[in-house]
Structure 1
């Protein structure tokens, strides 16, 4: 009996031990399975979070893409000679484009009153629309001096250009409407951050007027390294301020018709050639030749303007040269037409007339360098620059007419242009304005300019 009981006890202990080990193993297997399940859930959750983040990134990219299609970002790139902001609509493949630029100037000139002045010089908006990849509209609307009140000394609202452009291919395109005359550099490429001086060079304001635009049509394109533009436009006609502007040395400012009910009994041709050289250098020339008419459409004379230029932008350098030579036929008739002094108009005393020149000429040269390149700064620029100008608005005048004082001018311009961003410029410069037979001026200027 004792023996049976002992065997039973041993068997029970063995069975219990085996059962406990199996249960422990089962529990361990269950724990392991649960851990694997939890790990899988964690991985699935992580993947879900990553998927969610990727989805949000994709949503943001789609939003940006939609904005890019509607309002593309500005490339620092020129289309057919236009400035970067003006080129925006023509580089956009589809839809609406909005861009613009503006500038605010401070000026100190002890030879004028008031000595100090601050001016919201201009605010410009570009509006364009790409009907498709080839057919596009582009325009520029400008407000000068902050507001327009209908007074002569107040600001101005003007359409600077507005044209339809059809680009067949790189070699040939056509455009028509209110066009910028492609003479010099600044008239087409005039956004403030694109040139270092506070204001545009004197030569490209008094001899080559800015912003010079006329109604017409023409062709443009690129043949290898050669880029061209050729337009036919309306001719010139003096307005009621032409004589006053000529006396100030601004020869053609009062002769632009600006698309305002322009008379076209006299027409003009304007064209430009640019040849691209190595190291991003460009050399070329431009011309304008056309008739000048009076209010009744009678021909007063004609003007021919020729302007060679060189432009080199490379590794921090911005070097420019622009020249201008103009000749006028029947300058005496033009002079009498713009004169308001009765001694000239009624008595025929040519010494009392406003003198329009037979010949005029000039040039300027600019050297600018980004000195931040010495410090390996690539996301900002600080240009140190110098500009020298030499021009004569009345190199030759009609017989019996007098040359105005101060027509032969030298300009020395030095300064800095800081660009915290390629589209924004803070400028400071000094100008020594030195006419030969008139009072010299020392001018100090500051400016804030931008484009987008």
Structure 2
């Protein structure tokens, strides 16, 4: 009603009322301008009356049950099966303007944190994002490193398997966040790239990649890292991406540790058609300085095939080859992991999962049954 009144007033007050010669087109332009101003006024009044109108909330969580087996020859069944509220995560965002926004992610792992408790409370993301142009963005703060598939998209309803795959736990290592700045550009036709300068890992004299995450918690920052990614999604159903990261010293130039440079290269291809999705992924770290170990090369590869029968049911099989001591062709630590399972989506954002995982070792002295498991889980996002 208010809009009609304004338009009527515009017609009555317009030069057309006094000068019949004015064109209908000019009058229409004035009406459109006034209507736009009215809509803007309505939005401003709405934002003023609702201070939370620019706030966005979300989150996800998952609970797992793991049943383990162990060959009697090596000591019988593993002592404990396990049920775990693996993680609960909340997202909070705020739009300062149409071009400047804030995003954060807070996670509680394993239900309880504190002295002697298994869990942690973690700030995984907290950054400002600015649309610098129509097709470029700048992130500043604490963000997920642009590497792999799961590291940036890991809500449980988006992937198969109760647990995240081993490649993206031990080699990537998801979930992996750092602090710094990242510039992203959409080149059109499905081609994008990201370039990030950020904090780095700190192995503190060790060799395990996952243990090197500092999580931006009073993180040593004597040496930083740089990551670049290029991605192509220009063909329906196809996702191609490759990332490279370089760190000058994964021991952060700490006194008493050796300087060890590191380079990570990751690439993956995923194609979906008629319910079938095929995924191939490879990742490899090359280090220079792990003297007296076979850890200078750590690598993994993954092959996954899934079929989505309908909106509710999907099945998958996955094979991984993991070698975290690959230098010199060492096979003593090489693992072959096979996982089969099913996802049931109650609704698109709530999923029940079940899988069977078989872990074999090339080293005949290892217990091939020690890490075999049957897993159940439920996950959600909102």
Over 3 Å counting, the alpha-carbon distance change for 1:411 and 1:70 in structure 2 is farther
Match of 1:53 in 2: none
Match of 1:62 in 2: none
- Counterparts of 1:66-105 in structure 2 under 5 Å? 95-105=54-64
Match of 2:14 in 1: none
**Residue 411 in structure 1 maps to residue 337 in structure 2:** yes
Q: Distance in 1 between matches of 2:353 and 2:100?
A: 38
Q: Distance in 1 between matches of 2:91 and 2:258?
A: 36
Q: Which runs of 5+ in 2 are unaligned?
A: 1-45, 71-76
Match of 1:278 in 2: 235
- How far did residue 252 of structure 1 move? 1.0
**Residue 303 in structure 1 maps to residue 268 in structure 2:** no
Over 3 Å counting, the alpha-carbon distance change for 1:223 and 1:415 in structure 2 is same
Instruction: Give the structure-2-normalised TM-score.
Output: 0.79
Post-superposition CA distance 1:19-70 (Å, at most 9, x none):
xxxxxxxxxxxxxxxxxxxxxxxxxxxxxxxxxxxxxxxxxxxxxx99xx98
Assess if the C-alpha contact under 8 Å between 1:170 and 1:221 holds in 2.
no
Match for 2:356 among 412, 430, 448? Answer: 430
Q: Distance in 1 between matches of 2:319 and 2:192?
A: 28
Match of 2:31 in 1: none
- Counterparts of 1:153-164 in structure 2 under 5 Å? 154-164=118-128
Assess if the C-alpha contact under 8 Å between 2:191 and 2:234 holds in 1.
no
Match of 2:7 in 1: none
| SS of equivalent residue, structure 1 residue 254 | helix
Match of 2:224 in 1: 267
Q: Distance in 1 between matches of 2:146 and 2:354?
A: 28
Match for 1:181 among 116, 126, 145? Answer: 145
Match of 1:449 in 2: 379
Over 3 Å counting, the alpha-carbon distance change for 1:136 and 1:297 in structure 2 is farther
- How far did residue 170 of structure 1 move? 4.2
| SS of equivalent residue, structure 2 residue 196 | strand
Assess if the C-alpha contact under 8 Å between 1:238 and 1:294 holds in 2.
no
**Residue 362 in structure 1 maps to residue 304 in structure 2:** no
Q: Distance in 1 between matches of 2:79 and 2:62?
A: 21
Match of 2:289 in 1: 330
Assess if the C-alpha contact under 8 Å between 2:258 and 2:289 holds in 1.
no
Q: Distance in 2 between matches of 1:114 and 1:106?
A: 15
Match of 1:218 in 2: 182
Assess if the C-alpha contact under 8 Å between 1:70 and 1:97 holds in 2.
no
Post-superposition CA distance 1:321-343 (Å, at most 9, x none):
210121001112xxxxxxxxxxx
Match of 2:29 in 1: none
**Higher RCO, Cα 8 Å, sep 6+:** 2
Match of 1:14 in 2: none
| SS of equivalent residue, structure 2 residue 278 | strand
Match of 1:36 in 2: none
| SS of equivalent residue, structure 1 residue 331 | coil
Match of 1:312 in 2: 271
Cα root mean square deviation, aligned: 2.4
- How far did residue 356 of structure 1 move? 6.2
Over 3 Å counting, the alpha-carbon distance change for 1:232 and 1:124 in structure 2 is same
Q: Distance in 2 between matches of 1:325 and 1:276?
A: 23
**Residue 129 in structure 1 maps to residue 94 in structure 2:** yes
**Residue 290 in structure 1 maps to residue 241 in structure 2:** no
What is the number of residues matched between the two proteins? 323
Q: Distance in 2 between matches of 1:169 and 1:366?
A: 37
